[in-house]
Structure 1
Amino acid sequence: MTQEEQDPTAQDPTAQDHGVPPVRELAPALEAVLMVADQPLDATGLAATLGHPVVEVEAALGRLSAEYTAQGRGFDLRSVAGGWRFYTRAEYADVVEAFVLEGQPARLTQAALETLAVVAYKQPVSRARVSAIRGVNVDGVMRTLLARGLVETSGADETSGAHLYRTTTYFLERIGVSSLDELPELAPYLPDMDDLEDELSAWAGTGVAPEGDPADNGGPEASEPSEHDSEPTT
């Protein structure tokens, strides 16, 4: 056995100088780095990290992407916005969706998702108005959404002084859109705010404390409990 066969780095002197894998180890090194990346990585940055020429890194990334496609892997390596990152393949979206929405024990309840949807389409909106739309007290659910960073306060109503709520940028990130303009057209199916005055008046007589009052931890009989044990998967 020759010295080169015993010592792989002997075939690539730069590997000894820079302490990086030899050229033939470039592909698995790229896979390892990209596997833990939380954002797209460009070829220049990868080349600097791995100690290989940019042209070689770009070629290796292209080969890996083509190999995954040819092999029918469930994941894909894509060049997006000037960087490379692993993504699940589109044809397996239903499997991923089933896992995320049903296979995880910690997720938002149906009540929380419905409340979040009302806030998303009617924002900025007061808690009392959300309660009127849903027909139940949403104090506990709103506290959960606030704690999870999915909604936030957005000033106060000029007439009633009640706190107004809106969705956060974290909410947009979790559902995969850039702005509220990209939300599905569902708003027409929700009641108009002008049609809720009678309902709000009725709620005022149920004993629900005004918004912002410390006593508002209580509520009418038809209320939903706090959901502190739930986690968002939106």
Structure 2
Amino acid sequence: MTDVHTRGATEAILMVVDEPVAAADIAAAIDATIDTVTAALVALRDEYADPDAPRGFELREVDGRWRVYSSRLYADAVGAFVVEGQSARLSQAALETLAVVAYRQPVTRGQVSQVRGVNVDSVMKTLSARGLVTEVGEIGGALQYGTTTEFLERMGLATLDDLPELAPYLPDLADVDGEGR
């Protein structure tokens, strides 16, 4: 298989996937090596990101998987188009709860409630229904929650390591866990 064919086949697959896809899955589908597909993905990402020819889309790697997304340059236009007439925003309570889960995961509902000082059962159900949090385990009979790939995608993050540090905003938090996150 030629590099041109690998690149074209990889691009075609990216155009039809509903969720981010691993390089290994693309390689298996087109009978190519993972290294060849990864090289094609990186080349496509770099081509799409050319500042001299801005595009309305970009190729991003999220949690080891790849997908085409609308360009961050045009987020306002896409947001206006997608949510026209809809209220797709999360409530303040949901945003606070999501932040606790993101920074403290894995975390139980009880632990989130303790941090927030209120019952979070209904908010956690909402976040789960929107695909932003999911059950990731169990400790002492209590379910533990963490964020999802959907959360990473919506936040524009490749991994949880890309979450901004909280220490600059909440100096006394750095003393709590020693990491500032």
Q: TM-score, normalised by structure 1?
A: 0.41
The separation in 2 between residues aligned to 1:86 and 1:170, in whole angstroms, is 12
Find 1:126's aligned residue among 82, 92, 108.
108
Q: Work out the number of aligned pairs and report it.
A: 127
Partner of 1:11: none
Contact 1:115 1:138 in 2 (8 A): yes
Secondary structure in 1 aligned to 2:99? helix
Find 1:186's aligned residue among 158, 163, 166.
166
Query: Counterpart amino acid of 2:159?
Result: S
Partner of 2:143: 163
Shift in CA distance, 190/173, structure 1 to aligned 2, threshold 3 Å: farther
Shift of 1:80: 7.7
Shift of 1:146: 1.5
Shift of 1:101: 8.3
Shift of 1:107: 2.6
- Identity of matched residues, %: 56
Partner of 1:176: 156
Query: Counterpart amino acid of 1:109?
Result: S
Partner of 1:114: 96
Shift in CA distance, 77/135, structure 1 to aligned 2, threshold 3 Å: closer
1:1-234 equivalences in 2 (<5 Å): 37=15, 76=56, 87-88=70-71, 90=73, 92-93=74-75, 104-158=86-140, 161-186=141-166, 189=170
Q: Which has the higher contact order (CA 8 A, sep 6+)?
A: 1
Partner of 1:6: none
Query: Counterpart amino acid of 1:169?
Result: T
Secondary structure in 2 aligned to 1:131? helix
The separation in 1 between residues aligned to 2:103 and 2:165, in whole angstroms, is 9
Shift of 1:157: 2.2
Query: Counterpart amino acid of 2:156?
Result: G
Shift of 1:88: 4.0
Secondary structure in 2 aligned to 1:171? helix
The separation in 2 between residues aligned to 1:191 and 1:101, in whole angstroms, is 38
In our comparison, the structure showing a higher alpha carbon Rg is 1
1:110-169, CA deviations, whole angstroms, 9 ceiling, x for partnerless residues? 2111101110000011111111111111110011112222111122224xx322111112
Shift in CA distance, 89/143, structure 1 to aligned 2, threshold 3 Å: closer
Shift in CA distance, 109/190, structure 1 to aligned 2, threshold 3 Å: farther
